[in-house]
Chain A
Amino acid sequence: MLDASVFTGVSWNPVEDVRALFAYPFMVHALEAGTAVAVMAGVIGWFMVLRRQTFAGHTLSVTAFTGASAAGLAGVPVTVGYFGVCGLGALALAAASGPRRSLSSESAATGSVGALALALGFLFVSLYHGILNGLDSLLFGTFLGITSGQVATLVAVAAVSVVVVGIAARPLLFASVDPDVAEARGVPVRLLGLAFLLVLGLSVAETSQITGALLVFALLVTPAATAQQITARPLAGVVLSVAIALVVTWVGLALAYFSIYPVGFYVTTISFALYALTRLMRALT
């Protein structure tokens, strides 16, 4: 599959190729947006993996698809749809996962919310005829046509949520590692959980604009899981997770620019290869 026709426009001269990457404004915007998204996904994803909320994150990413298709149908900007519906989804999940729920009833509730969100998204898409090609990019992401206004929004949202998580980092870490002891020490565990789900919703809404609703995981879970394989120290783990997310995004965007295959494929494959490699090295040592 990796024949010459896959990679078009590559001179195989590194300096030339990097210059070609920055030659077009759309690509510069994509790289800026990708950087903001990767930093945010690296930080939030680390806490998400620590809190074992991967299923919740996936469900939120599915509501991002609903948001985008609803916005398309209603004629409002897609960004509004992403952030609005993901916020609602986070609240719904927080309501569904009360403190006294068993694991099994919580997973049934999460699954039902996710399936309903997808079903509604499909309904909106089919009511809004002619978006059939757009459906693929909503689900699997595109880096074409990101405007400078969108980049500004993405950077602002990423900054706000990283700062919020940074302020709450200590109690959030405590509440994630041992909720019972944290609660006994007077940490507002429930409130922190709700706030984290909201920030996660924001983060997912932002990430899905680059990777598409279905591939959010590649940036949220995989870099964080890789980092947690390598180190158990919180600060080092978060930094490592951000670094991996950044590298994966940059390399993925560059490969997608020079080849005919979608960015989602490269981002998922590179991050999974890194994860598999660390697992393997851990198993060998």
Chain B
Amino acid sequence: MLAHEFMRNALVAGSAVGIACGLVGYFLVLRAQVFAGDALSHVAFTGALAAAALGIDLKIGLFAATILGGLAMGALGDRARADDVVIGTLFAWVLGLGVLFLSIFTTSGSGSGDNGAAGVRVLFGSIFGLSTRDVWTSIVLAAAAVAVLAAVARPLLYASIDATVAAAQGVPVRALGLVFLGVVGLVAGEATQAIGALLLLGLLAAPAGAAQLLTARPYAGPVLSAALALASVWIGLTLSYVFPTLPPSTMVISSAVAIYACALVVAGRSRILLRLRPMILA
């Protein structure tokens, strides 16, 4: 499996994306902002297709759109937490714009069927088509996202768990929320290239949800979440390599959700055991 260059590229880039998504996702779930992450993934779609329609590099449109989208959502909501209804209306429109760019791009193209496939690639990713340069970009971006998160981890955790008390103690809650959504935008843009704009939500939500079920300790949580995301990327890519008819992004997300389901079962059982223990001891 490792003899193929495309497979090595996919594994390395996928690992970088997985670690970044797992870490960011943990805070996203903790702050109950999964919907904002979902909205950013749709913004990524529009950004990439706008760049395609204008004929500039897809990556520029992608990252500009997701990072600006993250900051805009932070600015719109009070205390840098956007309201669900505002997010919903805004991203319905952004997605509508994406459709417009898709149709401009597909009709203005030189008539080849290739342009239509570009939309599908943005939506569902193309991890087996990454070049060595793409891999380096994704490693650098993931490292940047992880470094920023690590730098603000302590105050961010405080602000996420109890925003009012944190603000009273002088923690810059609003600025932290903005920085955080900017990092989410960066990671969303990166993950779009690997697993697609529509599916990156799974890698943000499922491993983080599983980690929160399994541990309540603040520093073990993000690490566990990143490890679970990494595991789902590896399992998914291996499955897709062994069974070539199964698309890689589907297998990555299915593995992540399967891990989440296992965590639900494990957490449920331990909760029942905890409840039964006094009865057994008595």
Residues of A that sit less than 8 Å from B by CB: 1, 49, 52, 54-55, 57-58, 62, 103-105, 107-112, 114-116, 118-120, 122-123, 126-127, 132-133, 135-136, 139-140, 214-215, 217-218, 221-222, 225, 260-262, 264-269, 271-272, 275
Contacts and interface: CB of A to CB of B under 8 A. Distances in A.
Given A112-B202, A123-B246, A265-B96, A55 B103 contact: no
Closest 6 A-B residue pairs measured CB to CB? A268-B96, A115-B202, A108-B209, A111-B205, A272-B93, A217-B92
Given A122-B198, A218-B96, 12 more contacts: A54-B85, A62-B198, A103-B32, A105-B29, A107-B34, A108-B209, A112-B256, A115-B203, A119-B254, A215-B92, A268-B92, A268-B93
B32 A104 contact: yes
A115 B209 contact: no
A110 B34 CA distance: 9
B206 A108 contact: yes
A110 B93 CA distance: 22
A98 to B, nearest CB: 11
A196 B59 CA distance: 41
12 contacts: A107-B29, A107-B33, A107-B35, A112-B205, A119-B253, A139-B123, A215-B96, A222-B92, A261-B100, A265-B96, A268-B95, A268-B99
Nearest to B96: A268
B110 interface: no
A68 B89 CA distance: 24
A111 B201 contact: yes
A217 B91 contact: yes
A112 B257 contact: yes
Contacts of B37: 111
B25 to A, nearest CB: 9
A256 to B, nearest CB: 10
A132 B91 contact: no
Interface of B: 29-35, 37-38, 42, 84-85, 87-93, 95-97, 99-100, 102-104, 107, 116-117, 119-120, 123-124, 196, 198-199, 201-206, 208-209, 212-213, 245-247, 249-250, 253-254, 256-257, 260
Contacts of B256: 112, 115
Q: Most chain-A CB neighbours within 10 Å: which of B92, B123, B205?
A: B92
Contacts of B100: 261-262, 265
Contacts of A268: 92-93, 95-97, 99
A104 B88 contact: no
Nearest to A252: B96
Contacts of B212: 104-105, 108
Given A54-B84, A111-B206, A127-B245, A267 B96 contact: yes
B237 to A, nearest CB: 14
A111 B247 contact: no
B89 A217 contact: yes
A52 B35 CA distance: 12
Given A54-B88, A103-B32, A217-B88, A115 B199 contact: yes
Given A115-B206, A122-B249, A261 B103 contact: yes
A265 B206 contact: no
B96 A272 contact: yes
A264 B201 CA distance: 23
A132 B116 contact: yes
A265 B97 contact: yes
Given A52-B84, A114-B38, A123-B246, A275 B99 contact: no
Contact of B250 (A103, A120, A133, A265): A120
A225 B96 contact: no
Contacts of B107: 260
A136 B119 contact: yes
A52 B84 CA distance: 7
A209 B85 CA distance: 23
A52 B205 contact: no
A195 B201 CA distance: 27
Contacts of A140: 99, 102
Q: Most chain-A CB neighbours within 10 Å: which of B30, B84, B116, B254?
A: B84
Given A122-B199, A272-B92, A132 B99 contact: no
Contacts of A123: 246-247, 250
A55 B32 CA distance: 11
A62 B123 CA distance: 13
Nearest to B201: A115
B93 A269 contact: yes
Contacts of A111: 34-35, 37-38, 201-202, 204-206, 209
B29 A108 contact: yes
A112 B206 contact: yes
Nearest to B29: A108
A116 B202 contact: yes
